[in-house]
Amino acid sequence: MIGKLKGIVDSYGEDYVILDVQGVGYEVHCSARTLQALPSPGEAVTLSIETHVREDQIRLFGFPGDVERQWFRLLQTVQGVGARVALSVLGTLSPADLATAIATRDRAAVSRAQGVGAKVAERIVTELKDKAPAFTDVDPAVIRLSGALEDNRAPQSVREAVSALVNLGYGQPQAAAAIAAASRSAGENANTPSLIRLGLKELAK
């Protein structure tokens, strides 16, 4: 199996790059985000490679680093997500953004990827939720609060405060993060107006 290729960019196709490695041209499929970041033809590049072998073909998928390749593998463990959809997700969200979206249950962010409908986004967020925190810098308190909101386990004042911020136009992940920070400073018994006021201060930072 090929795990890494280091060579010269020869040319680009719609969803791939031809990488010249000592005179051999490898067709490497990449996400749109990766292709945009690669250098011009004639310049050197190194890609982490995932090799897919089938009876009728061998396909190479390229990534800027091992973390993105690992996400490519993780995404394909989700029912209904193949290589094409996994690349589409990684073309829309960086590994850090994807990890954050999953950790905070942000289905809308995941569903922005082409070919990812509401059901597939739901499966990605649900099936990978226990794996995402290992890849993200999101405050564990935010992850816990997002889960509590999802399961209706959060205190009523917290739910109302998050809902109020969402109604003001903030995204659910932003609102959850702000109220998580507000809860830490105000204490568990803080009322809804206090949480909303502190949450807005957090968002204004």
Element (H or E) spanning 162, and its range? helix 156-167
Kindly give the interhelix angle for 172-186 and 192-204, rounded to the nearest 10 degrees.
Answer: 110
- Please state which of the ranges 65-69, 146-150, 170-174 shows the lowest mean pLDDT: 146-150
Q: What is the pLDDT of residue 31?
A: 94
CB 124, CB 81: distance < 8 Å: yes
- Residue 138 above 80 pLDDT? no
What three-state secondary structure class fits 29? strand
Angstrom distance (rounded) from CA 23 to CA 21: 5
Angstrom distance (rounded) from CA 183 to CA 174: 14
- Residue 133 above 60 pLDDT? no
Which conformational region is residue 187 in: left (phi greater than 0), alpha (psi within -120 to 50 degrees), or beta?
Answer: left
For the domain 4-63, what is the CATH superfamily, name and number? Nucleic acid-binding proteins (2.40.50.140)
Which tens digits make up the pLDDT trace of 161-205? 888 888 888 877 778 778 888 887 777 678 888 888 888 888 887
- Read off the amino acid at residue 52: H
What three-state secondary structure class fits 144? helix
- Residue 143 above 70 pLDDT? no
CB 30, CB 61: distance < 8 Å: yes
Q: Where along the chain do its domains lie?
A: 4-63, 66-135, 140-204
What's this model's pTM, rounded to 2 decimal places? Answer: 0.67
Query: Among the CATH numbers 1.25.60.10, 3.10.20.580, 3.30.465.10, 1.10.150.20, which is that of 66-135?
Result: 1.10.150.20
Q: Which residue has the tokens 């791939």?
A: 16
Which tens digits make up the pLDDT trace of 68-127? 999 999 999 999 899 999 999 999 998 878 887 887 788 889 999 998 999 999 999 889
Q: What is the pLDDT of residue 124?
A: 93
Phi first, then psi, for residue 112 (nearest 5°) are -70, -20
Q: What is the pLDDT of residue 199?
A: 84
